[in-house]
Amino acid sequence: MLSLLIGFSFYIPAFIANGSGPFVRKGTPIDRGKNFIDGRRIFGDGKTFEGLLVALTFGTTVGLILAKFYGNWWIFVSFFESLFAMFGDMSGAFIKRRLNIPRGGRAILLDQLDFVIGATIALIILGIQINIYQFIFVAIIAFLLHIMTNDIAYRLKIKSVPW
């Protein structure tokens, strides 16, 4: 059980990074409004440079706390993990646009896990061992937390959709 909690703690920067993006209401779309070859937006207006910046700032900041437990290089790990979490979030948006799901449209599992997959890739690149049980545990927690926090964010008017 302890190993599951330690595995979960590795993902806190990604959670905070993904959770802080929505505080940016209007921003500069990363795809600059351009369309992909299929005539639909590359990412859509939900992926902005400002959101990326806020996500990286908060994700890296939480690394200062993790560094107390895991050593200073976790400040870099948190930055790198937050960056990949946001790449995962952008990949999720890219896939949703290809599937003709509009910005803010629902994509169960993809919405909840896109940033977790991105963060996992970052941890693997950095050689941080995550076993399958830890990954499944984090994926379940992220799925549940995502549904709950999106509901809260919707009620708080932070998000225009509750997912």
Ligand X SMILES: CC(C)=CCC/C(C)=C/CC/C(C)=C/CC/C(C)=C/COC[C@@H](COP(=O)(O)O)OC/C=C(\C)CC/C=C(\C)CC/C=C(\C)CCC=C(C)C
Ligand Y SMILES: Nc1ccn([C@@H]2O[C@H](COP(=O)(O)OP(=O)(O)OP(=O)(O)O)[C@@H](O)[C@H]2O)c(=O)n1
Q: Smallest distance from the beta carbon of 51 to ligand Y, in angstroms?
A: 2
Candidates 41-49, 71-79, 119-127, 129-137; binding stretch for ligand Y (CB under 6 A): 41-49
Q: Which is nearer to ligand X, 21 or 63 (CB)?
A: 21
Asked if 29 interacts with ligand X (CB under 6 A), we say: no
Of the two residues 15 and 43, which places its CB atom closer to ligand X in the complex? 15
Q: Which of 51, 59, 63, 88 binds ligand Y (CB under 6 A)?
A: 51
Between 75 and 93, whose beta carbon lies closer to Mg ion?
93
Q: Which residues of 44-82 are buried (b: 16+ CB within 10 A; e: fewer)?
A: bbbbbeebbebbbebbbbbbeebbeebeeebbebbbbbb
Residues lying near ligand X in the complex (CB under 6 A) are found at 12, 15-16, 18-23, 58, 89, 111, 145-146, 149-150, 152-153, 156, 158
Residues lying near ligand Y in the complex (CB under 6 A) are found at 21-22, 24-25, 27, 44, 46-48, 51-52, 86, 89, 92-93, 96, 103-105, 159
